[in-house]
C-alpha cells in the first residue's frame, strides 16, 4: 500500500516536470487507504512561491473534505518536505509523512532549503532576512476583537 | 510610511475577524512604496490550513506581478510570522519583514506555533510527526527527468 501511494506522489512529480509547472516534486494525502488530495510543484506555472507539492496536496485534500485539519491523514511526498511544507503538515495535523528523495538529493539538484532551515534556527536578529516590530498595541486591539467575536473558531 | 503599511496589514486582520474568515491576522506586500499584495487569515473560510495571512499576501503579490520571486519587496504582517509563513517569505525572496504583535502575543491568544518551531529544530527521528523514507531511487528518476528537461526553470 505505501509503495502504491508513493508511486502516485512520484507520478504527480513526473507530470509536473513534463508540463514544465515547476520543480520535480509531487505529493498525495491519504486517508483510510484512499487518496483524498493531490499536488505537484506549480511555482512556475502559478507564479506562486508557496505552490509546493505538499502545500498543494494539503490544500486539495482540506478543500475537498471541507475541513482545516487532516487528522488521521498521511502525506506522501516524492521529496523530504522543506520547512514551509513541514510546518504546513503540522498546521494540518497530518499524522505521518512518507518521503522518497532526501533534502540532500534536492540540494544536489539545486533546490537547497538548508539555508531556510538554518535561518529558522537563528535568533531573529541574526537572520539574513531582517525583521522589525512596530505598532504592537494596534494589532492587539484586533486580537481583543477576535476574542470577543462570536464567529471565531479555533484551528 | 511604515506605519501606513502596517495599519493596512492590521486593517486586513480586522476585516478577516469581522467576516469570521479565520484568526486575527493580516498582511500586505509592499514594493517601491506601493501595496502590491494583500491577505488575511482564511483558514476557516477556505478550509485551508495553509491560508495564513502572509501566505495569502505573498500569493496575491506574486500572482498579480506574474513572478515567483518578490525581491525588493517588504512584508508587513500584523503578527510575527509562524515557521510556515517565514519559510514562505524566504522562498519568495522577501527583503524585509515588519510585524506588529509577537509570537508570544499570539500564543497567549491560543495560536501557539512554538510547538512547530521546536519540532523543526528536532532531528526527524525525535519529532512528534513521524517520517519514513521509501522509494528514493524512483524519485531520483524524476529528478533526472527534470535535469534533462528543456522546460525547467530554477526558482
The whole-chain average pLDDT of chain B stands at 96
B13 to chain A, any CB pair closer than 8 A? The answer is: yes
A151 to chain B, any CB pair closer than 8 A? The answer is: yes
- Mean pLDDT value of segment A147-154: 90
Cα separation, B55 vs B38, whole angstroms: 10
Cα separation, A111 vs B72, whole angstroms: 22
Nearest to A147 among B3, B97, B109 (CB): B109
Q: Is A74 a catalytic residue?
A: no
Question: Does residue A3 register a pLDDT over 90?
Answer: yes
Say whether B87 sits in a helix, a strand or coil: helix
Identify the CA nearest to A30 among candidates A39, A21, A42.
A39
Neighbours of B105 (CB within 10 A): 16
Cross-chain residue pair A145–B14, CB shorter than 8 Å: yes
Say whether A79 sits in a helix, a strand or coil: strand
Say whether A84 sits in a helix, a strand or coil: helix
Cross-chain residue pair B83–A17, CB shorter than 8 Å: no
Chain B: nearest CA to A34, how far in angstroms?
19
Is residue B19 within 8 Å of residue A60, measured between CB atoms? no
- Expressed in angstroms, the distance from the first to the final Cα of chain A is 31
Sheet holding B131-133, edge to edge: A34-40, A26-31, A73-79, A96-101, B131-133
- Sign of the four-CA dihedral B63, B64, B68, B73: negative
Identify the CA nearest to A15 among candidates A50, A47, A42.
A42
Per CB-CB distance under 8 Å, the chain A contacts of B36 are: none
Q: How confident is the model at residue A155, as a pLDDT?
A: 83
* DSSP of A53-93: HHHHHHHHHHHHHT-S--TTEEEEEEEPPPHHHHHHHHHTT
Q: How confident is the model at residue A6 (pLDDT cuts 50, 70, 90)?
A: very high
B140 to chain A, any CB pair closer than 8 A? The answer is: yes
Q: How confident is the model at residue B112, as a pLDDT?
A: 83
- Mean pLDDT value of segment A122-137: 94
Tens digit of each residue's pLDDT (9 = 90 or more) over B104-151: 999 999 998 899 999 999 888 899 999 999 999 999 999 999 999 988
Q: Tell me which of A3, A8, A54, A74 is the catalytic residue.
A: A54
Tens digit of each residue's pLDDT (9 = 90 or more) over B40-60: 999 999 999 999 999 999 999
Point out which residues pair with B29 in neighbouring strands.
B37, B75
Cα separation, B129 vs B26, whole angstroms: 28
Q: Tell me which of B54, B71, B72, B74 is the catalytic residue.
A: B54
Nearest to B143 among A46, A101, A133 (CB): A101
Is residue B79 within 8 Å of residue B25, measured between CB atoms? yes
Lowest mean pLDDT among A69-73, A76-80, A101-105, B108-112: B108-112
Q: How confident is the model at residue A148, as a pLDDT?
A: 94
Would you state the cell numbers that stand for residue B153, as one nine-digit string?
Answer: 526553470
Q: How confident is the model at residue A79 (pLDDT cuts 50, 70, 90)?
A: very high
pTM: 0.97
For helices B53-65 and B83-91, give the axis angle rounded to 10 degrees: 20
In the block, cell 506555533 appears at B113
Q: What is the length of chain B?
A: 155
DSSP summary character for residue B39? E
- Mean pLDDT value of segment B24-35: 98
Higher pLDDT, A84 or B125: A84
Q: How confident is the model at residue A154, as a pLDDT?
A: 85
The whole-chain average pLDDT of chain A stands at 96
Cα separation, A133 vs A124, whole angstroms: 11
Closest residue of A to B100, CA-based?
Answer: A136
Say whether A14 sits in a helix, a strand or coil: helix
Chain A: nearest CA to B125, how far in angstroms?
12
B89 to chain A, any CB pair closer than 8 A? The answer is: yes
DSSP summary character for residue B45? T
Would you state the cell numbers that stand for residue B106, as one nine-digit string?
Answer: 499570539
Amino acid at each position: 500500500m505505501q509503495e502504491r501511494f508513493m508511486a502516485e506522489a512520484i507520478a504527480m512529480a513526473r507530470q509536473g516536470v513534463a508540463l514544465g509547472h515547476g520543480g520535480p516534486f509531487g505529493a498525495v494525502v491519504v486517508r483510510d487507504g484512499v487518496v483524498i488530495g493531490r499536488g505537484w510543484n506549480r511555482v512556475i506555472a502559478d507564479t506562486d512561491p508557496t505552490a509546493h507539492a505538499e502545500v498543494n496536496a494539503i490544500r486539495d485534500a482540506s478543500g475537498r473534505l471541507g475541513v482545516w485539519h487532516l487528522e488521521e491523514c498521511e502525506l506522501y511526498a516524492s521529496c523530504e518536505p522543506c520547512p514551509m511544507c513541514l510546518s504546513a503538515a503540522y498546521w494540518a495535523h497530518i499524522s505521518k509523512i512518507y518521503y522518497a528523495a532526501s533534502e540532500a538529493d534536492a540540494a544536489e539538484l539545486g533546490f537547497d532549503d538548508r539555508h531556510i532551515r538554518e535561518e529558522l534556527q537563528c535568533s531573529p536578529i541574526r537572520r539574513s532576512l531582517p525583521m522589525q516590530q512596530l505598532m504592537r498595541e494596534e494589532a492587539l486591539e484586533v486580537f481583543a476583537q477576535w476574542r470577543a467575536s462570536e464567529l471565531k473558531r479555533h484551528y
